[in-house]
Amino acid sequence: MRRFPILICLLALAGCRPGAVRIDTPQGTLCLEPMTEDAIRVRMTPEGAPELGELIFTEKAQTPKFKVERSGGDVTVRTAKMAAEWNAGTQTLRFLDADGKELLVEKAHGVVPAEVQGEPAWAVCATFDSPAGEHLYGTGQFQDGYLDIRGLTRRLTQVNTQIALPMILSSRGWGLLWHNYGLTDFNPAGNSITLTQQEEAGGSVTVNATGTAGNRREMRFFRNFSGEIELPADGEYALLLDVGREMARRQYLAVDGVPVIDISNTWLPPTAAVKTKLSAGKHTLEVQGTFGDAPVVYWRSVTDETTFSSPVAPGLDYTVFAGGADAVMHSFRTLAGHVPALPDWIFRYIHCRERYDTQDELLTAARRFHAEGVPVGTIVQDWQWWGKYGWNAMHFDEGKYPDPKAMTDELHAMDQHLMLSVWSKIGRDSELGKEVEANGYYIEGTEWVDFFQPDAAAFYWQNFSSKLLPTGIDAWWQDATEPENDDLKGRRIGPEKIPGEWYRNVYPLHVIRTVYEGLRRDQPDRLPVILTRSAYPGIQRYGAVTWSGDVGNDWDALRRQLAGGLGQMAAGLPWWTYDAGGFFRPREQYSDPEYQERMIRWIQASVYLPFMRVHGYQSRTEPWEYAPETERRFKAAITQREALQPYILAQAGKVWKEDYTLMRPLIFDFPQDEEALKQDCEWMFGTDYLVCPVTEGGVSSWKVYLPENAAGWEDIRSGARLAGGRYAEVPVDLEAIPVFRRLK
């Protein structure tokens, strides 16, 4: 059995790595390490801190030429494209581009002793200037609806619908990667209040829900909470609502009776953020939640600062990249791994539903797609195909799937491919689960495989390879790779059984690495395709595709997914999609024209995502299930995606050849256009297309922003030419969303 490399070593000594510049400071030894010509890493490691292994910068990049200039206690490290200046007087760093232009100024940093599960640890933070007019993007996929996150407070944890990526991109020409594998707070708020539950009940509702045990009906009892805060001055404030449990069912915060956060879904992240203007004095807070919530509201004044903070870390560690968005992505992937090629067929339409219950049911749908000439590239078998054998037992239930190999063969004959949902959780009551338990391969108190144990990862892959690869399945959907419910917190992992908090956010990286490396070894003639619900910087080197999780279907959910996907693009991971139509759908979806309008807008926007994928909970998502006009528009969108394949494949090739980004926040192409930088639901799809999704119902016109472009823009439907650098009101109907070709 192949053993994976052990990444945990608890005997490291503080100090600088070879090639790094050492600076002795009152807080400890500061190390400045040029990584590329446009990337410098900053580290301060306390004596006795654990060496957790390098999980992000795994590539062997040649150390660039650099100069070291010393004057008194001041030190400057200079490469061909940037410089880092240490000021002994202020005990801070300043970063400059090749022309000496100031990029980023550190105001303060700190490393202080802390504790995790009764053992020594360290808390770290760094604060940077963020001048007025700067725009910041990144930190991954969040559900708060913000693309520009300057001044916003976020808590970076991995949960269903939230992907935490501690990397940001600035309109001032730099990027920053915060190297910490545990929880990270972005712009943490120092003030907080625990709200008091009110006596009156808030009612109840029964919902269809999913979980680690499958589909279920769940009764939810609503509760109201209140409190009061007093603010010292008028201004803009960042508020963070923490519901006090692993996942929220309702995110609602009102200030003085005015809702500032109002999101409902079957599952939501435990925290939600907002920025709002408030006056000095007292303000009443109201939170609407569910039974079991213990809400806390954090707040801070929005200032010209940006802070990263981690309560559990082996030391201060961050990398600053100099350059525009594409340059930052190139440098990041040079160090953290380039994106491997994907097969052409995965960029075609991906059809999924929750769920096909039998082999015959799946093939019946696939045959109809084929007979009607609907160009499906991939069809997906969601969870519970294991049936009587137990959760994720790596074995098809023959009563429902009598011949999986014949199923994939028939799909291939129709030019379709099969994706299968496989989990990193294995039921303890299954035969495979009993082996996992006997070997001690579970994360304690859970049914998640402990991928931090090399033997556990190897055992998982051995079963995956021997039991599933012979079926000929083409693509793999690794669901719930957070792991769900933040299950590393408070638990011990790895062969040394260290506190899970050290690695709280990197479980998906270990899972996807295990599967990718196994596929490359056992199927060397195939390009792996892996869909995952969670991610971490570095996962792009395994070709991972993410999607936005179990989201709702309303207009606001659509807007929030698009802003979240663009936030992931700014954090360095290029492959993303969502459940077009929303995962949780209304019961009357097949007859409700308002829902079908929303669904079509989700689908039309997905034509211009890196991957076009439809999915839905307890739904028959095939086009023919809906009203005739909806069916026609649905199929037209799939046909449009197919017609774009030559363009998409050419643009996708640039991702693995040039470190390109296909779904592009407007900062990538229009960094000097102030209005473009404010757009949180428009993007460039490759070099040519500006995508302006419709995110409201019942409209006959739509306001778009056309970025500055000397040659202007062409409406791809009407052929109308419009000047750039301005807003325009364009006519729309239900046939398509506004898309413009960039003229040259």
Q: Give 359-412 pLDDT, tens digit per residue.
A: 999 999 999 999 999 999 999 999 999 999 999 999 999 999 999 999 999 999
- Rounded CA gap, 496 and 675, in Å? 52
- Rounded CA gap, 170 and 179, in Å? 18
Q: Which two tokens stand for residue 516?
A: 């990718």
Whether the per-residue pLDDT at 549 is higher than 50: the answer is yes
Considering just the CA atoms, what is the radius of gyration of the chain in Å?
Answer: 25
- Does residue 485 sit within a domain? no
Phi, psi of 458 (to 5 degrees): -65, -40
Mean pLDDT of 50-54: 93
CATH code, 43: 2.60.40.1760
Same domain as 112, residue 36: yes
Share of the chain above pLDDT 90, in %: 93
- With bands split at pLDDT 50, 70 and 90, how would you rate the model's confidence at 491? very high
- With bands split at pLDDT 50, 70 and 90, how would you rate the model's confidence at 11? very low
- Does residue 245 sit within a domain? yes
- Does residue 607 sit within a domain? no
**Cα 289 to the center of its chain, rounded Å:** 25
Cis peptide before 355 (omega within 30 of 0): yes
Mean pLDDT of 505-519: 98
The predicted-structure confidence for 679-697, as pLDDT tens digits, reads as follows 999 999 999 999 999 999 9
- The 8-class DSSP code of residue 16 comes to P
Beta bridge partners of 116: 119
- With bands split at pLDDT 50, 70 and 90, how would you rate the model's confidence at 42? very high
- Rounded CA gap, 609 and 684, in Å? 10
The predicted-structure confidence for 338-366, as pLDDT tens digits, reads as follows 999 999 999 999 999 999 999 999 999 99
- With bands split at pLDDT 50, 70 and 90, how would you rate the model's confidence at 15? confident
Query: Closest Cα partner for 210 from 163, 266, 159?
Result: 266
What's residue 222's pLDDT?
86
Amino acid residing at 566: L
- Rounded CA gap, 175 and 322, in Å? 7
Same domain as 176, residue 32: yes
- Give all strands of the β-sheet with 39-44 in edge-to-edge order: 21-25, 28-36, 39-44, 316-322, 174-178, 163-170, 136-141
Tell me which of 237, 272, 294 is where a domain ends. 294
Mean pLDDT of 425-454: 98
- Does residue 371 sit within a domain? no
- Does residue 589 sit within a domain? no
pTM: 0.95
Q: How many residues does the chain have?
A: 744
What's residue 641's pLDDT?
98
Instruction: Find out whether 366 and 376 touch, Cβ atoms under 8 Å.
Output: yes
CATH code, 730: 2.60.40.1180
- Does residue 112 sit within a domain? yes
The predicted-structure confidence for 135-171, as pLDDT tens digits, reads as follows 999 999 999 999 999 999 999 999 999 999 999 999 9
C-alpha distances in Å from residue 457, one per residue of 4, 383, 480, 524: 7, 21, 16, 20
- With bands split at pLDDT 50, 70 and 90, how would you rate the model's confidence at 261? very high
What's residue 220's pLDDT?
57
Same domain as 280, residue 315: no
- With bands split at pLDDT 50, 70 and 90, how would you rate the model's confidence at 508? very high
Share of the chain above pLDDT 70, in %: 95
Average pLDDT, the chain: 95
- Rounded CA gap, 413 and 145, in Å? 42
What's residue 210's pLDDT?
64
Same domain as 269, residue 184: no
Same domain as 61, residue 107: yes
Whether the per-residue pLDDT at 52 is higher than 90: the answer is yes
What's residue 17's pLDDT?
85
- Does residue 437 sit within a domain? no
Phi, psi of 535 (to 5 degrees): -160, 175
Domain hosting 255: range is 196-294
Query: Closest Cα partner for 192 from 157, 227, 144?
Result: 227
- Does residue 127 sit within a domain? yes
- With bands split at pLDDT 50, 70 and 90, how would you rate the model's confidence at 279? very high
- With bands split at pLDDT 50, 70 and 90, how would you rate the model's confidence at 707? very high
User: Who's near 179: CB < 8 A, 6+ residues apart?
Assistant: 41, 56, 166, 317, 318, 319
Instruction: Find out whether 204 and 292 touch, Cβ atoms under 8 Å.
Output: no
User: Who's near 737: CB < 8 A, 6+ residues apart?
Assistant: 601, 604, 605, 691, 692, 693, 694, 702
Query: Closest Cα partner for 268 from 181, 209, 310?
Result: 209
Same domain as 44, residue 88: yes
CATH code, 223: 2.60.120.260
User: Who's near 18: CB < 8 A, 6+ residues apart?
Assistant: none
Instruction: Find out whether 173 and 324 touch, Cβ atoms under 8 Å.
Output: yes
Same domain as 312, residue 285: no
Whether the per-residue pLDDT at 211 is higher than 80: the answer is no
What's residue 13's pLDDT?
35
Same domain as 183, residue 87: yes
Instruction: Give me the helix-helix angle, 593-606 and 628-643, nearest 10°.
Output: 0
Mean pLDDT of 30-34: 97
Whether the per-residue pLDDT at 221 is higher than 90: the answer is no
Between 208 and 477, the more confident residue is: 477
Same domain as 331, residue 248: no
Tell me which of 286, 314, 336 is where a domain ends. 336
Same domain as 123, residue 265: no
Whether the per-residue pLDDT at 593 is higher than 50: the answer is yes
Same domain as 80, residue 223: no
- Rounded CA gap, 118 and 272, in Å? 29
What's residue 703's pLDDT?
98
Same domain as 39, residue 63: yes
Mean pLDDT of 55-62: 95
What's residue 243's pLDDT?
97
**174, HSE (Cβ side, Cα atoms, 13 Å):** 28
- Nearest-5° Cα angle at 95, 90 to 98: 140
Instruction: Find out whether 226 and 195 touch, Cβ atoms under 8 Å.
Output: yes
- Rounded CA gap, 553 and 612, in Å? 16
Give the count of domains, the chain. Answer: 3
